[in-house]
Structure formats: structure tokens, C-alpha cells
Amino acid sequence: MSLGAGERPWRLFVALDLPPGVRAALAAAGAAADPDVWRPVAPDSLHLTLAFLGSRPPADVEAIARVLEAQAGTPAPRLALGDALLLPPRRARVLTVALEDSGGALGELQAGVSSGLEAAGVYTPERRPYRAHITVARVRPHAQPPRAAEAHLERLAFSAGRLTLYRSQLHPKGSRYSPLRAVSLAG
């Protein structure tokens, strides 16, 4: 799809929203990380990305929204916070918390969203397997990231019941995310 005159592409991604208690625990983990190395992610920016679409024409929002609406009957995945995880593993840029998806519902939801977006012509799935994680801090410029991750988190269990299409706008103090469309999952 081509852009109209003066129309700029939007950075878009699809994510699951997190319950307030889970956001608070994750924000605390990010804030507890070494401040000389890590810049914590703002609590209202914490989310679980299912598909990063990159730069897309604003006109694609309707097609993406239809893919999300098709997931409305899908059961909300039951998840739990896991261990701290540095990504990428060799030269970390982010401190994350892995998620446990014991029933496999998150993997099925992510695959359904991914294939629906691909069929709509708005997404090319990544070749590597999906790794469920939530970024809680980003490495500061010129900081040397550690080789091991530490985060002391309670293994909170939760249900992620809302699927949202976000627009990401880059700013010097961190990206700002604006919800464009949201769909509630079943249960």
C-alpha cells in the first residue's frame, strides 16, 4: 500500500496488556536494576509484544484491527512471571522478564495473530521462534551490560485479557505508546 502525499508511516505493534499488579511488579524490577547500566521502562509502557509490524501506512490500521477482532473469542492466556533474561544474549541491550506459558495458549494466540497479519499483507513473521518476554529496562548509552541477569520477582500468575494495536512514537526520553484498537479476549 502506498502512502498519500505528506502521509508518514506509523510504527505499529500488537501486544497483550498487563494487569496493574503485574505492571507494578515489573516496574519495581526495572527500577531495582543498576541505574548506572539500565534505564527502567516506564510502568505505563510495559506490555507483552506479540508482533512488531514496524513502519506501516496509517491506512493499514483497519486491516490490522480486523485481525485483532478475529481473535476476540480466543481464551485469554494464563501466564506467570519467570526469570530475568538479557536480550540479545551475547551483547544485551535490554533486561527482560521471561513469561511462563504452561498451557501453550500464549503461543497459540501469537501464532494466530502472526498468521492473520501475514494473510492481511501487513506483516512478515520473524524466522526465529517467538520468545515471550517483557522488557523492564534498556541499557544506557555507553554502559557495559552485565553478562548475567538478576531480578528478584515473585512468580505472579495472571491472565492477559486484552489485545491491543499500538502506535509507537520515538522520543529522547523513551518511546510513547498510543493504543489505536483493543479487543477483549474470552475468559
Question: Which positions are annotated as active-site residues?
Answer: 47, 133
All domains in the chain, ordered by first residue: 17-184 (3.90.1140.10)
pLDDT at residue number 168:
96
Residues 79, 82, 87, 90: is their CA dihedral positive or negative?
negative
pLDDT at residue number 6:
56
Q: Which residues of the chain register pLDDT less than 50?
A: 1-5
pTM for this predicted structure: 0.91
Bridge partners (DSSP) of residue 79 are 158
pLDDT at residue number 151:
72
d(CA 183, CA 172): 30
d(CA 160, CA 52): 18
Q: Which residues of 144-170 are buried (b: 16+ CB within 10 A; e: fewer)?
A: ebeeebebebeeeebebbebbbbbbee
What residues contact residue 163 under an 8 Å CB cut-off, 6+ apart?
14, 15, 16, 17, 50, 68, 71, 109, 113, 182, 183, 184, 185
The per-residue pLDDT for range 122-136, each reduced to its tens digit, is: 999 999 999 999 999
The per-residue pLDDT for range 128-176, each reduced to its tens digit, is: 999 999 999 999 999 998 888 877 788 899 999 999 999 999 887 778 9
d(CA 94, CA 88): 7
pLDDT at residue number 5:
47
Tell me phi and psi for residue 183, to 5 degrees: -130, 135
Half-sphere exposure of 92 (CA within 13 A, CB side): 23
pLDDT at residue number 1:
41
pLDDT at residue number 4:
47
